[in-house]
Structures are given as structure tokens and as C-alpha cells.
């Protein structure tokens, strides 16, 4: 098994590979990577020279030795594995071999490393044994195989009351595919609160691109001419992800979620809705009140000769 550095623009069928992979997400589609100014991919080849996996490199624009991926902007990253063996022991062995190979390459070529692993990859022991520090994160998901009635029954009583209240005042959800109503600045207001550089310009480009690729939609709740809230959703072949949202009250966001689930079931083939969780209990409780179940995933961190700095920064989350 070997690893090679290849340019992103050398891939012809990347999106198809991702859709047919074990764990690929829409955060590795070529159009998303081009928007994120990703130039290079690590490609893992087996003994016959066949591609068995790859990993986009989110390299810091100001520091080429820094691999930087914040889950606030890119929920899932890390290696994307293609077809895996059916026997569990062979599957575990292959995943571990790939992770050892990646860990050594990354440590040899970068001084600071931060990236996430999607929830389908459970085994991260090779990274831990190579000195990476794991940060535990959680997300919450709905199983869209269930009927709409079954999903609604699992909503909490407060959520049901909010939906009924919005219905009584005549609030309607609009699929905003031209961004006539969705406010990108409001969706990213948490950046301003913490003095982060605004990414609303990028978010607008990303939203419009995801819609044009038929991999996203913006939803807003309107009461006559007043916009009560908005949510932007993106998806890949299997899962939809809630990425950007804003609202005046929980009734608005609850009603959007309810109608958004209907939209997904009627207009897409995705099987799961990922709330793209939060580390704050209040937001976690809100997500769980829709009947969502919990999934664990990891952020992995490594810094040459400065492990203590990594530990000191873990779990000090901003208020997203």
C-alpha cells in the first residue's frame, strides 16, 4: 500500500467515487473543495495500484505546513474509503493500515494538523498510537426510512405545540432557491459575536452552488411579508445536513424542520437527516426533541512538539 499526492483537478469522476464509497460525504464533492480552495488530495493505492481511498487536504492559506479544518465550517473531513472487505476482521485491518499510512504522511509533511473523522469511521487507534489527540464530538440524526407519521409521533410535545401555533397564524414555508429571502448575514451572526472574520460571502456562494448542483436548498418561514427564520440544507447520496440557520423564535425553526423533513422524503433519496450537532446541551436537547438519535465522531489534532497546547484548547467551544 502506498500514498501519493495528487491535484484535485486531476480527478474526473470524484463525485461518483464519493457517492459509491463507504463513508464519503458532500463535503468532499469537487465543487465544494474548489470553493474551499483545496488543491491537493492524498490518494491511497493498493499493491496493484488501484485507488482504495483518498483525503482532501484543507491546507491553511497563510501557512502551507498547517492542515486546518474547523467543524464549524466543514462538519466532516478525513479519509474517504472506497469498497471495504465484507469480513469484519479484514475491514478493520484495512482501515487501520490506511490510517497508519495517513498518520505518518501527515506528521512528516505538516507541523500542525486538525481534521475531523465522519461518524462511519469508528476505529481511530492508529491515529492515537501515532500521537494524535482525539476530541470527542456528537451529532444527532433522524432515520428518514420511517414514515412522516412515525417521525412526527417522536417529536416532543413542545415541538408539536410550536408547529400548531405557526400553522394557526398562517406561516408558510418557502423553498428559496434564488436566495430572495434567506439572510446569509443572520445565519452567520455568531461569527460577529466572537469577532471572527465574516464568511457570509462564501456562504452565499456555497448555498447557490449547492442548489445549482441539486445538492441543497434554502428554506424560509414567512408570515405574509415577514421572514420568521431560515435554514439551509445540503445533502449527498445518503444524508442531508443542516448547516446554516437563523430564527426569531423556536416555533419558526421547528416548523421549518418539520416541513423540511417532508421535502426530503418527497424530493430526494436521502435516508438520514443530520442535525450537524452542537456541543451545547441546550442545542443538543432541542435536536433530541425531534426524536433524533446520537452519533459520535472525532476531531483529531497533532502539533509538532507542542501537545500541551492542544490539550489546553480542547473543549473550549465558542457559542455557535
pLDDT on residue 312: 57
Average pLDDT, the chain: 92
Q: Where are the domains of the chain?
A: 2-136+298-313, 146-270
The pLDDT value given to residue 318: 47
Beta strands in the chain (DSSP E): 2-7, 40-45, 51-56, 66-68, 80-81, 112-117, 133-143, 172-175, 216-223, 226-235, 239-247, 272-274, 293-303
Output the pLDDT for position 70.
Answer: 82
Q: What is the pLDDT of residues 203-234, one digit of tens each?
A: 999 999 999 999 999 999 999 999 999 999 99
Measured CA distances, 105 to 43, 118, 289 (Å): 11, 20, 42
Its CATH architecture, for the domain 146-270, is 3-Layer(aba) Sandwich (3.40)
CA-nearest of 128, 91, 130, 115 to 42 is 115
pTM, whole model, 2 decimals? 0.93
Query: Which one of 3.40.50.2300, 3.40.50.720, 3.40.50.300, 3.40.630.30 gives the CATH number of domain 2-136+298-313?
Result: 3.40.630.30
HSE of 245, CA atoms in CB hemisphere, 13 A: 23
Q: Do domains 2-136+298-313 and 146-270 have the same CATH topology?
A: yes
Per-residue pLDDT at 192: 83
Per-residue pLDDT, 113: 96
pLDDT of 273 over the 90 cut:
yes
Q: Are 271 and 145 in contact (CB under 8 A)?
A: yes
Amino acid at each position: 500500500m502506498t500514498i501519493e499526492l495528487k491535484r484535485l483537478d486531476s480527478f474526473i469522476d470524484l463525485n461518483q467515487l464519493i457517492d459509491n464509497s463507504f463513508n464519503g460525504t458532500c463535503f468532499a464533492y469537487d465543487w465544494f473543495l474548489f470553493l474551499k480552495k483545496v488543491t491537493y488530495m492524498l490518494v491511497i493505492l493498493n499493491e496493484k495500484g488501484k485507488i482504495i481511498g483518498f483525503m482532501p487536504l484543507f491546507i491553511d492559506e497563510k501557512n502551507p505546513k498547517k492542515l486546518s479544518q474547523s467543524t464549524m465550517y466543514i462538519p466532516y473531513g478525513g479519509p474517504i474509503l472506497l469498497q471495504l472487505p465484507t469480513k469484519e476482521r479484514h475491514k478493520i485491518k484495512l482501515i487501520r493500515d490506511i490510517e497508519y499510512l495517513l498518520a505518518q504522511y501527515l506528521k512528516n509533511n505538516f507541523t500542525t494538523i486538525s481534521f475531523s473523522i465522519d461518524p462511519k469511521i469508528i476505529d481511530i487507534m492508529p491515529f492515537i498510537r501515532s500521537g494524535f489527540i482525539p476530541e470527542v464530538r456528537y451529532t444527532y440524526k433522524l432515520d428518514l426510512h420511517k414514515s412522516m407519521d412515525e417521525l412526527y409521533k417522536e417529536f416532543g410535545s413542545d415541538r408539536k405545540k410550536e408547529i400548531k401555533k405557526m400553522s394557526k397564524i398562517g406561516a408558510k414555508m418557502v423553498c428559496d432557491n434564488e436566495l430572495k429571502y434567506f439572510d446569509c448575514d443572520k445565519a452567520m451572526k455568531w461569527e460577529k459575536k466572537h469577532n471572527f472574520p465574516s464568511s457570509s460571502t462564501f456562504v452565499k456562494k456555497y448555498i447557490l452552488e449547492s442548489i445549482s448542483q441539486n445538492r441543497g436548498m434554502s428554506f424560509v418561514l414567512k408570515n405574509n411579508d415577514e421572514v420568521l427564520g431560515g435554514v439551509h440544507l445540503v445533502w449527498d447520496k445518503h444524508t442531508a445536513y443542516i448547516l446554516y440557520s437563523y430564527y426569531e423564535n423556536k416555533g419558526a425553526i421547528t416548523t421549518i424542520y418539520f416541513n423540511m423533513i417532508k421535502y426530503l422524503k418527497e424530493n430526494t433519496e436521502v435516508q438520514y437527516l443530520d442535525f450537524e450537532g452542537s456541543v451545547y446541551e441546550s442545542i443538543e436537547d432541542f435536536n433530541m426533541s425531534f426524536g433524533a438519535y446520537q452519533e459520535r465522531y472525532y476531531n483529531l489534532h497533532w502539533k509538532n512538539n507542542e501537545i500541551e497546547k492542544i490539550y489546553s484548547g480542547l473543549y473550549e467551544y465558542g457559542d455557535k
